[in-house]
Amino acid sequence: MTNKNELYIHQLEEQLKSYCISKFKEEEVDKIEKARLLASSILKNHKLPDGEPCYTHSLGVALIAGKEMGLASDSIIASLLHNTATFQEDSNKYLAQVLTDYGETVVVILKGLTKINSLDKDNIAIQSDNFRRLMMTLSGDIRVILVKIADQLRDMRNLHFFPVEKKLSFAHETNYLYAPFAHRLGLYKINSELQDLWLKTIHFKDYDFIDKNLEKTGSFRENFVSEFVKPIEEKLKIKGFNFEMKARTKSIYSIWNKIQKKKVDFEDVHDIFAIRVILESQQQEEKSNCWQVFSIVTEHYQTNPNRLRDWISIPKSNGYESLHTTVLGPGNRWVEVQIRTERMNDTAENGLAAHWRYKGGKESGSFDDWLKSVREILENPDLNPFDFIDEFKTNVYEDELFVFTPKGDLKKLRAGATLLDFAYEIHSQVGDQCVGGLVNGKKVSIKHQLQNGDHISIETSKSQKPKMDWLDFAVTTKAKSRIRVSLNEEQRKLAEQGKEIVKRKFKNWKIDYNDRIIQEILDHYKFKLSKDFYAKIAEDKIDILDIKNFITHKEEKTNHPTSTLSDLESLIGDDMIEDLNIDSSDDFLVIDNNLTNVVHKLSKCCNPILGDDIFGFVTINDGIKIHRQTCPNAPQMFERYPYRILKAKWRGENTTNKSFQATLHITGIDQTNIVGDISQLVSKEAGVQIRSISFDSGNGQIEGIIKVFVHDLGHLRFLMQKLKNAKGINSVSRSDG
């Protein structure tokens, strides 16, 4: 090792020691020093691919974790030791000693880092979100992610030493994984640096062009800022404020990103910098102080009222607080002024809480909730965030599982998923023919439960068919649905075979094959559906001669495929027939608006309304029920009880203003007061009454049921169209019940 290298290492050691002494108790400083000596003894003779000594790299990561992220002593120790286990003959024995010397948290971080480093990231650009979720799941502790970001930043700062292929690999990982993580965790400065380093690696010419232009215009910006702030500073001092004013220049990446999105030149990016006023202020006086500064700024410079952003009265959902205004400065140049207190500035730039929404997009579901819980603790001035870091265990994705295909593609499944679930995730046919497979090179059965990060290949056989017991261990909806479809398809084929056997036998026996006699057979054998009966015939589970004996000893009965007027007399009695409105021309039961007779009622399972295609069904104890032709129970009634089906139709228009109940299923975008808007829209429609309304929301969407009373089918269709045209509504459909 040269004297130059030794001097550099000594400087890093002194920086780390000085920082730790200023931040930690004596016993923690001693423990960190012990870990540093251990790292030095193990790593001193080893180098990274870029030629940097491993020990130097570890010191750099520890400094980033401490000085730049403000992490606690456990994370700094883990940063120092994160490469040491690689060079141990027995890593398990080594980690056991680390557990004894430094505690469980350090071991958890080291193991989490090992899992993340072992991931195959070849397809990271395609499935970056799933990779981030998998990293969260594998890490088990937020500190793993934070130390890994520090590790990545250290590598990116030394990327110029790496070979080209390694540079590109590190840069892509940074762009798709670590910069987004830094964004979401509010690590403003680190995120900006990671993005700049990515741009410098992948688009060097663009980076260099912007960098040189910033350098060229630097003196102009300095003069402009000096001229702009001078009168403001004087007035603030007169008012007795303690403050700092400075210009915040956009990062090179941010300027490049704006040029790309807006399709403009560098000269056309007018918000390259903003003037920031940072006040010393007691928390109870923060709002009034910021507004006083706002008044001073806008008294001197003309403001653009359309560009006022008040995130002090109502902070952003991520906790960001600041007062922004855009004013016309010297040379008629528009400039943004940001007014905030020291506390607000610390939260915005340095905490784990704030910056992702500030310039990012929309967060998703449970991850957003998790970040919110982090933010709530970090923003409480009475709490030390690191006293509560154990509450940030990343159980957000405990119900999810991430595994790899043989080609390295990432698949997301439910926790507890089996090899069979994975097979159906690949393709329905692969699932149907799955006989087993390999998990991490080891042969397993279709029941094998998968773990995060497993590499899986499936074995199939054309002779394999889904079995009923597969439903007992398959856990994903996709697998269960496909298994049922396959089983039903197999059952259907058997039923067709069985039906042909029965028809052929009936013909030989000279027995009429009709629905009535089949229903009697089904009742005798206690089958609900004819397909189940026919399948048993095909499987030789029922002796066909037993059926012949049953028919022979059964009294002959006349089959009625569809009820007529005379049939109804035998079914419900001639006294009830007299009360019915029958169109004798074609034996239709005519339904008008005055449905007061006890012998015919509107069925609640499908709620028919005036205008629907309908039929009547003769019940045993409850007269005739009127159903829609599209009723979900209609196929079963027609198949099992054809002799109870009665043709029915509506008579004329709704002249009595009778109301019919209808149920609507509505989906839409979860926006402010959308349910109230829906309710108001329906209520305003003439003749419509709301019976009940129920909505759920999640992931930015709403879904709900609304039950209404309408005059007829045309009235309902008009209402549905009106709802479909409403802002924020995605779909409106009629439901049964």
d(CA 32, CA 17): 9
DSSP structure class, residue 539: T
Q: Tell me the pLDDT tens digit for each residue of 228-274.
A: 999 999 999 999 999 999 888 888 888 898 888 888 888 777 778 88
The predicted structure's pLDDT at residue 602: 85
3-state secondary structure 550-592: HHHHCCCCCCCCCCCHHHHHHHHCHHHHCCCCEECCCCEEEEC
On whether the CB atoms of residues 61 and 150 are closer than 8 A, the answer is yes
Amino acid letter, residue 535: A
d(CA 654, CA 610): 8
Q: Are strands 624-628 and 600-602 parallel, antiparallel or unpaired?
A: parallel
The predicted structure's pLDDT at residue 388: 37
The predicted structure's pLDDT at residue 656: 53
On whether the CB atoms of residues 386 and 393 are closer than 8 A, the answer is no
Instruction: Say which residue the tokens 């006293």 belong to.
Output: 387
Instruction: Say which residue the tokens 């700062």 belong to.
Output: 157
Please state which CATH class domain 3-187 belongs to. mainly alpha
Q: What average pLDDT is seen over the chain?
A: 79
The predicted structure's pLDDT at residue 233: 93
d(CA 11, CA 7): 6
DSSP structure class, residue 645: E
Q: Tell me the pLDDT tens digit for each residue of 361-374.
A: 334 444 444 444 44
pLDDT at residue 375 greater than cutoff 60: no
On whether the CB atoms of residues 615 and 637 are closer than 8 A, the answer is no
Span of 172-186, 322-336, 351-365 with lowest mean pLDDT: 351-365
Backbone angles phi, psi at 385, to 5 degrees: -55, -35
Kindly give, in sequence order, each residue whose CB lies less than 8 Å from that of residue 118, ignoring residues fewer than 6 positions away.
Answer: 453
The predicted structure's pLDDT at residue 186: 65
Q: Tell me the pLDDT tens digit for each residue of 166-225.
A: 888 888 888 877 887 777 776 778 888 999 999 999 999 999 998 998 888 888 888 888
Span of 51-55, 100-104, 408-412 with lowest mean pLDDT: 408-412
Backbone angles phi, psi at 199, to 5 degrees: -60, -40
Q: Are strands 333-341 and 309-310 parallel, antiparallel or unpaired?
A: unpaired
d(CA 633, CA 644): 14
Amino acid letter, residue 540: D
If DSSP codes are grouped into helix, strand and coil, which group holds residue 278?
A: strand
Q: Which fold has domain 660-735?
A: Alpha-Beta Plaits (3.30.70)
Q: Enter the CATH code of domain 400-475.
A: 3.10.20.30
On whether the CB atoms of residues 401 and 413 are closer than 8 A, the answer is yes
DSSP structure class, residue 250: P
On whether the CB atoms of residues 710 and 660 are closer than 8 A, the answer is yes
d(CA 669, CA 410): 29
On whether the CB atoms of residues 59 and 80 are closer than 8 A, the answer is yes
pLDDT at residue 710 greater than cutoff 60: yes
List beta partners, residue 459: 436
The predicted structure's pLDDT at residue 56: 92
Taking residues 305-321, what's their average pLDDT? 76
- What's the token pair of residue 152? 């990545």
Dihedral sign for Cα 672, 675, 680, 686, please: positive
Neighbours of 127 (CB within 10 A): 19
pLDDT at residue 520 greater than cutoff 50: yes
The predicted structure's pLDDT at residue 208: 92
If DSSP codes are grouped into helix, strand and coil, which group holds residue 84?
A: helix
Span of 180-194, 623-637, 643-657 with lowest mean pLDDT: 643-657
The predicted structure's pLDDT at residue 128: 54
Q: Tell me the pLDDT tens digit for each residue of 413-458.
A: 888 899 999 999 898 899 999 999 999 889 999 999 998 778 899 9
Integer-rounded Cα radius of gyration of the chain: 37
